[in-house]
């Protein structure tokens, strides 16, 4: 039992908002998966190679969402390293 009921509501909103935002961003990312060019549809359909067990290889465009995840990870890692280097905090 909390002393102040408002604190429970604030924590609930703080839990709910990031989850809702994550689901929304994931839905947007899956809705627009890659940059579309002149030959995008041909690249998605054309089979480049066939492997055992009927696995087909295509030269499809790299998903935009994965580009952003990789770029975000690299930026975060560099920022983390620089922040710890500037502030002198031990890792």
- Give the count of domains, the chain: 1
In tens, the pLDDT along 66-89 reads 788 889 999 999 998 888 888 876
* Domain presence at residue 11: yes
**Sole residue written with tokens 């509501």:** 9
Task: Flag whether 19 is in a domain.
Answer: yes
Q: Give a yes or no: residue 1 inside a domain.
A: yes
Residue 59 belongs to a domain: no
DSSP state for residue 1 in the 8-state scheme? -
Look at residue 5 and tell me if it is in a domain.
yes
Domain carrying residue 9: 1-31
For residue 62, how many other CB atoms are within 10 A of its CB? 11
Give the pLDDT confidence score for residue 90 in this predicted structure.
Answer: 63
Q: Is residue 47 part of a domain?
A: no
pLDDT digits (tens, 9 = 90+) for 14-62: 889 989 998 888 888 777 777 777 887 787 788 888 999 888 888 877 7
pLDDT at position 73: 93
């Amino acid at each position: 039992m909390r002393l102040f009921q408002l604190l429970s509501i604030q924590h609930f909103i703080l839990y709910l908002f990031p989850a809702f935002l994550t689901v929304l961003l994931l839905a947007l990312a899956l809705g627009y998966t890659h940059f579309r060019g002149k030959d995008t549809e041909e690249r998605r359909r054309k089979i480049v190679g066939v492997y055992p067990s009927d696995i087909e290889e295509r030269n499809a465009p790299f998903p935009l969402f994965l580009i952003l995840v990789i770029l975000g990870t690299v930026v975060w890692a560099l920022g983390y390293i620089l922040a710890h280097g500037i502030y002198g905090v031990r890792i």
